[in-house]
Amino acid sequence: MDVRTVLYDFRVEPEILESMRHGTSKINEQLKDILSSVGLGKHTQSHPSEDAIFLSSFGNGRWAIFSCHSPDLVTLTFHYDRCPKAQSLKESPPVLDEGSMEALKQEVEKVLNPKKCKLFPEISRGAAIDRYVPTADRRLVEYDFDATTFEADSEYQNIKIMHSPQYGNMLILDNDPNLAESDLAYTKAITGNGRESYTGKEVLILGGGDGGILHEVLKENPKFITMVEIDQIVIDAAIKHLRGICYDSMDSLTGDNYEVKVADCIPIMQQYITEGKMFDYIINDLTAIPITTEPRGKLYL
């Protein structure tokens, strides 16, 4: 299943909005005719009210709603199945491509004569590959994902690695994009963009389960790196599927000048404080959520 949703916003004169609130207006009939032209006129209902709604459905995974919002906004919400299931070609109206979507918008404009209009990009729901990732501030980012390379639930989080033709494999933790194979600039930035020298230095990496920071710092021949990552499944997935980030740096979790500890970093740091352990550099590559020992909603960090 792949259900597409498209939004059209039309800013109209107030008298247009007022006319649409009457279910028998000429404008409403014209809009119904337009919907009929794309196979949505067979079953039409009108619900005149303060916010007029006109629902047309074909019963084949396609429906549309015109809704009015004071003082001057009319919205057309259009839904359709990308591959409608029909018994025959006659029962299946044509899938609306980008060109016919624009044509539909132009026909509606002729009737509403809007001051402004906006066609929003379509949103796909229920597809085999989910291409959308919500941001922490509730925006929606669409990627060109074409495959799910890896997915598992660990004790701590949901772990996904999605493949993108543009970015390579991308690590996503609890729906938060962390790092893609193309993001070397991020790793170089967090290690100082060449302004810091790690040669002969003691380095502590907090988090960093993708192995990118470990790999970059190891290039400079440090005295010793201690990396503390809580989730073994992230490490294992990175070793197998994020070779463009970690390369071979985590094929073994211990080496002559590094050790990867699979543990919670908070008690480890408390232990270092007690021991008086010192580091030349501490690199924080932990979750974007502020670290605390107190519960934050459903999260205990």
Task: Give residue-wise pLDDT tens across range 81-90.
Answer: 776 454 433 4
Ranges 28-32, 57-61, 234-238: which has the least confidence: 57-61
- Classified as helix, coil or strand, 54 is strand
Confidence of residue 60 (pLDDT cuts 50, 70, 90): low
Whole-number pLDDT of residue 62: 77
Q: Set out the domains of the chain in order of their start, with CATH numbers.
A: 3-125 (3.30.160.110), 132-180 (2.30.140.10), 184-300 (3.40.50.150)
pLDDT at 3 over 90: no
Whole-number pLDDT of residue 203: 98
Confidence of residue 109 (pLDDT cuts 50, 70, 90): very high
CB 25 within 8 A of CB 121: no
- Classified as helix, coil or strand, 108 is helix
Ranges 34-38, 54-58, 183-187, 240-244: which has the least confidence: 54-58
pLDDT, tens digit (0-9, with 9 covering 90-100), for 143-171: 999 999 999 999 999 999 999 999 999 99
* Dist CA 150 CA 141 (whole Å): 20
**For 252-279, b where at least 16 C-beta lie within 10 A, e where not — what string?**
ebeeeebebeeeebeebeeebeeeeeee
Ranges 47-51, 86-90, 135-139, 179-183: which has the least confidence: 86-90
Of 248, 226, 228, nearest to 238 by C-alpha is 248
Task: Give the angle subtended at the CA of 57 by the CAs of 56 and 59, to the nearest 5°.
Answer: 170
Q: Is 285 considered catalytic here?
A: yes
φ/ψ of 246, rounded to 5, equals -95, -15
